[in-house]
Structure 1
Amino acid sequence: MRLERRLSPQVNVDLTPLIDVVFQLVIFFMVSSVFKTTPGISLELPTAGTAEPLTVQELVITAIAEDEIYVNEVRTTLEGVEKLLASWKDEHQDAEIQVILEADKEAQYQLVISLLDGLRRQGFQDVGLRTRMKR
């Protein structure tokens, strides 16, 4: 004997849990995002009549080979680097200079040392070496 059901099943998709999960994800990403802000100390800085804005110039030296070196996208050789550095330093005398040296992983170690020596001869002391994070 076969029994028939009198009530048919009702299928409704409830979106409330989905909306709750999406809302929690939004809140999570908002809270965990990194914002560049100053510390939580509220300061009102004094004014100065002789204050000057500080400009930071970035000097990027890219070494591929002895005959292919780029100083801020200007191609030169190992012999021409110091001339370019001297002229670049003369143009940006009043600015704070941030020097970044990047070299191809196949570049010779002597090439990097020669570039560092040239930077020191021109008066650049703090040089950052750019690397890539290991994944």
Structure 2
Amino acid sequence: MRLQRRLSPQINVDLTPLIDVVFQLVIFFMVTSVFKIAPGISLELPESGTAEPLTVKELVISAESEDTIYVNNTLTTIKGIPAVLETWKEENQGKDMQVILEADKNAPYQLVIKLLDILRQNGLADVGLRTKAQR
């Protein structure tokens, strides 16, 4: 006659240390991650003593040179801006038409004037110039 054991061995894997390590890794990567506001567009803005923080409402034009101009993160040239503005105005009918213009501090002043002229010709006269605060 065979007798059965009352206490059979039970094998349990403790997952607590594994969960702790994974949680520590998640926190580490969250803290050390760097987020860019506008990826691919790195401008060095000129400084201004009266600069104020400004929230982006509608249209942002970033200019590095005549061949490198971004309209809401869309790459174009100075000749392609009227077409981009026309499609943007069609998509945003009836909305507040505010434009923010930012140019690299090494960009020629003539480029900024050309952009302002193009914006006025397309009916966008409410233009804000973005700068960064002096330190």
Cα offset for 1:86?
Answer: 1.0
- The SS at the match of 2:64 is strand
8 Å CA contact 1:57, 1:95 repeated in 2: no
Task: Considering Cα pairs closer than 8 Å and 6+ residues apart, tell me whether 1 or 2 has the greater RCO.
Answer: 2
Q: Name the structure 1 match of 2:108.
A: 108
Identity score, percent: 59
**Aligned partners of 1:105 and 1:83: how far apart in 2?**
26
8 Å CA contact 2:97, 2:126 repeated in 1: no
Cα offset for 1:57?
Answer: 4.6
**Aligned partners of 1:131 and 1:57: how far apart in 2?**
16
**Aligned partners of 1:98 and 1:79: how far apart in 2?**
21
Q: Name the structure 1 match of 2:27.
A: none
Q: Name the structure 1 match of 2:87.
A: 87
**Aligned partners of 1:98 and 1:57: how far apart in 2?**
7
Q: Name the structure 2 match of 1:74.
A: 74
**Aligned partners of 1:104 and 1:115: how far apart in 2?**
13
Tell me the TM-score normalised to structure 1 length: 0.57
Change (3 A) 1:95 1:57: farther
Structure with max Cα Rg: 1
- The SS at the match of 2:75 is strand
The total of aligned residue pairs comes to 80
Q: Name the structure 2 match of 1:123.
A: 123
Moved over 6 A (4+): none
Any unmatched runs of 5+ in structure 1?
Answer: 1-55
Q: Name the structure 1 match of 2:63.
A: 63
Tell me the TM-score normalised to structure 2 length: 0.57
Q: Mapping of 1:23-34 within 5 angstroms?
A: none
CA-to-partner distance for each residue in 1:11-32, whole Å, 9 max, x for gaps? xxxxxxxxxxxxxxxxxxxxxx
- The SS at the match of 1:124 is coil
Give the alignment's Cα RMSD to 1 decimal: 1.3
